[in-house]
Amino acid sequence: MDFKALGLMAGIEIHQQLDTKEKLFCHCPTTLRETEEHTGEFFRYLHATVSEMGEVDRAAAEEMMNRRQFCYFAYDTTCLVENDEEPPAPMNPEALAIALQVAKTFAMHPVEQVHTMRKLVIDGSNTSGFQRTAMVAMGGVLPGDGEVETICLEEEAAQRVEGSTFSLDRLGIPLVEITTSPCMHTPEAVQETARYIGMVLRSTGRVKRGLGTIRQDVNISIKDGARVEIKGVQELDLIAEVVRREVTRQVTLLSIRDELRARNASVGEETHDVTALFAGTKSSILKRAKSILAVVLPGFAGLVGREVQPGRRFGTEISDYVKKCGLGGIFHTDELPAYGVTADEVAMLRAHLGAADEDAIILISGSKEKAACGAKQVRHRARLAFEGVPEETRKMLEGGNTAYMRPLPGAARMYPETDVLPVTITEERWAAVEVPELLADLARRMEDELGLDPAVARQAAYSEHLPLFRAAVQAGIKPNLAARTVLATLKELSRDGVAVENVADQDVLAILTAVEAGEVAKEVIPELLTEVAEGKTAAAAVAEHAGGVSAEELAAIVAKIVAERIEFVRDKQMHALGPLMGVVMEEVRGKVDGKKVSEALRIEISRVI
Amino acid sequence: MSTYMTGDIVAASCRGHPVEGIYITDRDGMAVLKLKSGYNIGVDEETCTLVRRAGEQPAPAVPAVVQDERLPELAIISTGGTIASKIDYRTGAVTSQFTADDILRAVPGLTTVARYRAEVLATILSENMTPSTWQALARAAHAAIRDGAEGVIVTHGTDTMAYSASALSFMLDTPAPVVFVGSQRSADRPSSDNVMNAMCAAAAARSDLGEVAVAMHATTNDDTCTVHRGTRVRKMHTSRRDAFQSHEMAPIATVAYPSLAVDLSPEAVRRGSAEPALRADLEERCGLLYFYPGMPEEAVRVYEDFKGLVIAGTGLGHVRSACIGALREMVDAGTTVVMTSQCLHGRVCDRVYDTGRDLLAAGVVEGEDMLPETALTKLMWVLGNVDDAEEARRLMATDLKGEIRRRSDYGF
């Protein structure tokens, strides 16, 4: 696809959790919990309210179609602010400082007076029904001709446990939202920009790491298409594919639009009750339904079944809208007979509704109320097809497809958070903000200064264990040994089921220092770390393995082992060194450095052959 | 004064970055602009230039409130407070601006419970209430009941709602429920408790209840409201939804949400038990003194000219010996002094310790198990209606509206 010719415009919003001690508007720790640890739960309803400008936001209005009861899990690490039962504390200065640092790294202009706003979100993910957010800086630069439009400091939403149940541990964790302008024109550019911004964020050393701590929203439109916001892309490597698939969707929807117009298609105004028609049906879904409704779409035949994304049809798009009414989906004549609905039933349905072959019929089944709501949604979505691409907020599906979530919200959903006073960013404060060294630069520098291999240097710079690596080098540990232990050994042990989370940074440093001082051999590091993970102190573990093998003792051990295998040695000559290494190492149980063992063996073997 | 008006479109520079937005207000010497994205920011007003004056804003379309004539009629008396609050986007403060009709618009479900006549008595935050507001409230409630309302809903700020409810309990004999209701979280937030509290209050107001009460969230859940007796209720938390608690008795009713099923307790006074009567006189020169260790005698003497004084004393109802002389002189000079306890739960007994006996000897009235605030509104009412000091003392020790219980039940 020629994305430039299609007029692809894409921008991204990156949401990154900050690693602060406390939450953004209360003094709770930013600790994530296991849901089974919850110490209380409560439930609430949310109601759409009129905004500052006197309107109800369209996205909020749609969420209100179903009044839902939301359940919340509370913990001993959450408080009344998360419960929406206490006014917020002043904005966390630590979080603001990190946001300012990021802003300065992108050469942005800080806002002189930061105002906290309430952004209406009534899907249950915020107990209050809004998310607190504040614009901190504007107008930053990206490599190439990209532009960072804004950086906002926001509170994280509560995490969905399942259905309408949410967990309050995540609610209120500070995050920065970095929004670019729609300055990208290829899927790869979007992915690269996201990668770059992620690197800048990690360069502060003050962001949370791990799955779910960074999320990308992608805004995409093509010429004649419409802006679509895809929420919550967690995997960086999928971004380009998400963009490609959205472009495909928009191109297909535009072709459907053109064909509908050419066919002079329309949307039937009437909803037909066809419950009686299916009285004897074998379809288990229709048999269960209290009410079966039909909407005729004249001129739509063949288009409802057209694929818009791999495995998703225009009919799936309609179905997504119908799900808002609490229904499972729809049947349509482009896919029938199927799902237990027979060809005879379809023919009878067409005859009953007077529908021609070029017309499509959509069936909606469920309770009376839900089916009526569904029929309304079918007509709504079908009408939108004549305009082409509706402006929407969509959610990521596996593999890079997307599904409808809600209409794009407008500015009407934003009003001031009057419980939080504005914060002034003085010239002095801004001047004092330090720009961190970018990890990309740090990797190059470590390569030069520490003599690390480029790949290792890059791995060290981008690792979440960078502080430990730096501390080790600072303490005089050889960079390669430090890198190997911090970046590889710990990970390998963890993979083998060792509880490395029990090993404190000081323990790692103590072990490495003992190795560097020659107290223990470096081969024993995994063993030492495992023992510490199991509860031993680093000092005790080192003492157990340290010393006891002098040069003379080593020579004696080597001589004994060589003597026992004298035939083998004579046979293999110097090639016996390799196999005998393991035997000696086993004997000295890591108390001697491998290099010394190898040297002693070489001397002894040369002596006997 | 700013040269700009709310709604003006202005261009400005934010530390060198050009911005354009709607001028909202002046805050701490900076111009607050609403950007197109909906975000507000503060910028140096010196950098602002006018792009376009605010056009005539069309008044937002206000949907008409449609009432169901077949439903019983309730009166809504609005006094302000959080339940009827709206953000003032210029000052950023939450103020009470709603009319009672606005409440029906904000809580559309109310019109399925009853039809309403609405009256705005005041639009004030509850800390600005005075005894004269209570009097106006009592008159309005009395008039509504006399004119045939099946019940009265009073929307009120929660901070002093318990004072108003107890004051009305004494001023009013009512055959119909007078239900106070408020909200702890402002009406402009989707999570406001105003919807559920208002619906439950309406259900209580058309129920078989026949006394002054307060209806608020029972727990932090949106599932039940409790209805508390006006003389027995207290706000026990600054911000939680279930801040209101009945003291020394179980709530007089519960209302389930969203079913609105009302369950009255055996103790609840039933509809029609009294003829409507209004005695709205109050003696405003009454005070409430919270005793603390080391309180100087002068602190007591501040109230010398007062007609009545309620003391929230320690434990069983004590103040230090050094204050008793002043109290004796006040009683001798005609002030009615009533002792209650800071413990809130339990009964005053000044016959156990020496200081208590000295207080009794000085002429202080034991306030039994009355809440200090209830004792205050009662004292205002008693002294407003009775001239004889002995009769006033007798009434203060007598249960008039459920404020005193003869027995201290086990279990509350």
Is the confidence at residue A55, as pLDDT, over 70?
no
- Answer yes or no: B235 catalytic: yes
pLDDT digits (tens, 9 = 90+) for B265-299: 999 999 999 999 999 999 999 999 999 999 999 99
- So what's the pLDDT on residue A518? 76
Residue of A106, A112, A428 best to disrupt the B interface, most CBs of B under 10 A: A112
Give the mean pLDDT of A481-495.
Answer: 90
Asked if B299 and B322 touch (Cβ cutoff 8 Å), the reply is no
Banded model confidence at residue A235, pLDDT cuts 50, 70, 90: confident
> Choosing from B26, B101, B159, B222, which is the catalytic residue?
B159
Among this protein's residues, is B86 annotated catalytic?
A: no
Q: Locate tokens 């994530």: which residue?
A: A32
Both A235 and A360 in one domain: the answer is no
Task: List B residues 234-273 in contact with A (Cβ-Cβ < 8 A).
Answer: 238-241
Task: Give residue-wise pLDDT tens across range A547-575.
Answer: 656 677 778 888 888 888 888 888 888 88
Q: What's the whole-number mean pLDDT along residues A299-306?
A: 95
Under 8 Å between Cβ of B293 and B192: no
A533 lies in the same domain as A593: no
Report the C-alpha gap between A71 and B338 in whole angstroms: 47
Which stretch of DSSP H or E encloses residue A372?
helix A368-384
On chain B, the residues whose CB falls within 8 A of the CB of A122 are 190
The pLDDT score that the predictor gives to residue B313 is: 97
A430 assigned to some structural domain: no
The Cα-based distances of A239 to A193, A220, A395 in angstroms read 10, 11, 13
Give the number of C-alpha atoms closer than 13 A to the C-alpha of residue B407, restricted to the C-beta side.
3
Residues A293 and A232 in one domain: no
The partner residues of B173 in beta bridges, in order of sequence, read B277
Contact A394, A402 (CB under 8 A): yes
The beta strands (E) that lie in A250-298 are given as 271-273, 291-297
Is A132 within a domain? yes
Shortest Cα distance, chain A CAs vs residue B61, angstroms: 9
Q: Is A175 a member of any domain? A: yes
- This model of the complex carries an ipTM of 0.91
Cβ within 8 Å, pair B42-A411: no
A334 part of a folded domain: yes
**pLDDT over 70 (residue A66):** no
Q: Which residues pair with A231 in a beta bridge?
A: A395
Question: Judging by beta carbons within 10 Å of its beta carbon (0-12, 13-18, 19+), is residue A432 exposed, middle or buried?
Answer: exposed
CB A271 within 8 A of CB A375: yes
Asked if pLDDT for residue A240 goes beyond 60, the answer is: yes
- Does A407 or B201 have the greater pLDDT score? B201
Query: What's the CA gap between A9 and A189, in Å, rounded?
Result: 11
Give the pLDDT of residue A538: 86
Last residue of a domain, one of A259, A289, A321: A259
The pLDDT > 70 percentage for chain A reads 95
Q: Ranked by mean pLDDT, which of A39-43, A63-67, A280-284, A394-398 comes out on top?
A: A39-43
In the A/B pair of chains, how many CB contacts fall below 8 A? Answer: 132
Average pLDDT over residues A224-233: 92
Q: Write down the pLDDT at residue A57.
A: 57
Cα–Cα distance measured from residue B94 to residue B88, given in angstroms and rounded to the nearest whole number: 6
Q: Which domain-ending residue is among A492, A518, A545?
A: A545
Q: Does the beta-carbon distance from A42 to B19 stay under 8 Å?
A: no
Q: Look up the CATH number of the domain holding residue A270.
A: 3.30.1360.30
How many residues are present in chain B? 412
- Of the candidates B39, B116, B107, which has an alpha carbon nearest to the alpha carbon of residue B72? B116
Structural domain total, chain A: 4
Domain that residue A496 falls in? 439-545
Residues A525, A587 within the same domain: no
pLDDT for the residue numbered A208? 94
- The set of residues, in sequence order, having a beta carbon less than 8 Å from that of A449 and lying 6+ positions away, is none
- Output B178 or A559, whichever has higher pLDDT: B178
User: Do residue A188 and residue A280 come from a single domain?
Assistant: no
Interface of B with A in 159-188 (CB under 8 A): 184-185, 187-188
User: Per-residue pLDDT for A284 more than 70?
Assistant: yes
Q: Is B321 in the A-facing interface, judged by CB distances under 8 Å?
A: no
- Taking CB atoms and an 8 Å cutoff, what residues of chain A touch B42? 111-115, 422, 424
A25 lies in the same domain as A169? yes
- Listed residue (B282, B276, B280) closest to B75, CA to CA: B276
A352 and A282, same domain (yes or no)? yes
Write down the pLDDT at residue A62. Answer: 60
* Cβ within 8 Å of residue A528, ≥6 positions away: A511, A520, A538, A541, A542, A545
pLDDT digits (tens, 9 = 90+) for B39-68: 999 999 999 999 998 877 666 666 777 888
Q: What is the mean pLDDT of residues A85-92?
A: 96
Nearest Cα to A527, choosing from A495, A555, A489, A559?
A489
Model confidence at A519, pLDDT cuts 50, 70, 90, reads: confident
Nearest to A112 among B39, B42, B60 (CB): B42
pLDDT at B89: 56
Measured distance CA(A365)–CA(A538) in Å, rounded:
66
Map chain B to HEC letters: CCCCCCCCEEEEEECCEEEEEEEEEEECCEEEEECCCCCEEEEEHHHCEEEECCCCCCCCCCCCCCCCCCCCEEEEEECCCHHHEEECCCCCCEEECCCHHHHHHHCHHHHHCCEEEEEECCCCCHHHCCHHHHHHHHHHHHHHHHCCCCEEEEECCCCCHHHHHHHHHHHEECCCCEEEECCCCCCCCCCCCHHHHHHHHHHHHCCCECCEEEEEECCCCCCEEEEEECCCEEECCCCCCCCEEECCCCCCEEEECCCCCEEECCCCCECCCCCCEECCCCCCCEEEEECCCCCCHHHHHCCCCCCEEEEEEECCCECCHHHHHHHHHHHHCCCEEEEEECCCCCCCCCCCCHHHHHHHHCCCEECCCCCHHHHHHHHHHHHHHCCCHHHHHHHHCCCCCCCCCCCCCCCC
Per-residue confidence at A335, pLDDT binned at 50, 70, 90? very high
d(CA A187, CA A244): 6
Interface touch B190/A133, C-beta < 8 Å: no
Q: What one-letter code names the amino acid at B13?
A: S
The predicted pLDDT at position B193 comes to: 93
Query: Would the CB atoms of B94 and A418 count as touching at under 8 Å?
Result: yes
The more confidently predicted of residues A373 and A586 is A373
The reported pLDDT for the residue numbered B103 is 76
Same-domain status, A210 and A144: yes
Cβ-nearest to A80 among B15, B94, B240: B240
Q: Does residue A519 sit within a domain?
A: yes
Q: Is residue A420 part of a domain?
A: no
Is the confidence at residue A595, as pLDDT, over 90?
no
- Check whether A320 has a pLDDT greater than 80: yes
More reliable by pLDDT, B153 or A451: B153
Checking if the pLDDT of A50 tops 80, the result is no
- Facing A418 at nearest CB: one of B87, B190, B221: B87
Range with the largest mean pLDDT of A453-457, B44-48, B96-100, B330-334: B330-334
Would you state the pLDDT for residue A411? 62
Residue A342 lies in a domain: yes
CA distances from A510 to A471, A473, A482, B187 (A): 11, 13, 12, 58
* Domains along the sequence of chain B with CATH: 8-52 (2.30.30.520), 73-278 (3.40.50.1170), 286-397 (3.40.50.40)
Mean pLDDT for the stretch of residues A275-298? 92
Identify the pLDDT of residue A116: 96
Average pLDDT over chain A, rounded to an integer: 90
The confidence band for B95, taking pLDDT boundaries of 50, 70 and 90, is low
Does residue A412 carry a pLDDT above 70?
A: no
Residues A450 and A535 in one domain: yes
pLDDT of residue B36 exceeding 60, the answer is yes
Of A85, A109, A135, the CB nearest to B220: A85
Among A330-334, B77-81, B195-199, name the one with the lowest average pLDDT.
B77-81
pLDDT at B2 over 90: no
How does pLDDT run across B136-157, given as a tens digit for each residue? Answer: 999 999 999 999 999 999 999 9
pLDDT attached to residue A25:
98
A166-181 pLDDT per residue, tens: 999 999 999 999 999 9
* B90 has a pLDDT exceeding 60: no
Mean pLDDT of A428-443: 94
Single-letter amino acid code for the residue at A440: A
Q: Å from A397 to nearest chain B CA?
A: 28
Of the given ranges (A550-564, B185-199, B241-255), which has the lowest mean pLDDT?
A550-564
User: Is there a single domain that holds both residue A448 and residue A512?
Assistant: yes
Quote the mean pLDDT of chain B: 91
Residue A90 scores a pLDDT above 70: yes
Q: Is residue A173 part of a domain?
A: yes
What pLDDT sits at residue A552?
76
Task: Give residue B19's pLDDT band: very low, low, confident or very high (50, 70, 90).
Answer: very high
pLDDT exceeds cutoff 60 at B92: no
Q: Determine the distance in angstroms separating the CA of A431 from the nearest CA of chain B, rounded to an integer.
A: 12
Domain final residue pick, A243, A259, A275? A259
Alpha-carbon separation of residue A111 from A103, A157, A419, A423, B49 (angstroms) = 10, 24, 20, 10, 18
Based on the fold, state whether residues A288 and A238 are members of the same structural domain.
no
Query: What pLDDT, on a 0 to 100 scale, did the predictor assign at position A357?
Result: 92
Q: Residue B196's pLDDT band (boundaries 50, 70, 90)?
A: very high
Query: Is residue A126 located within the same domain as residue A156?
Result: yes
For B111-136, the pLDDT digits (tens) are 899 999 988 888 888 899 999 999 99
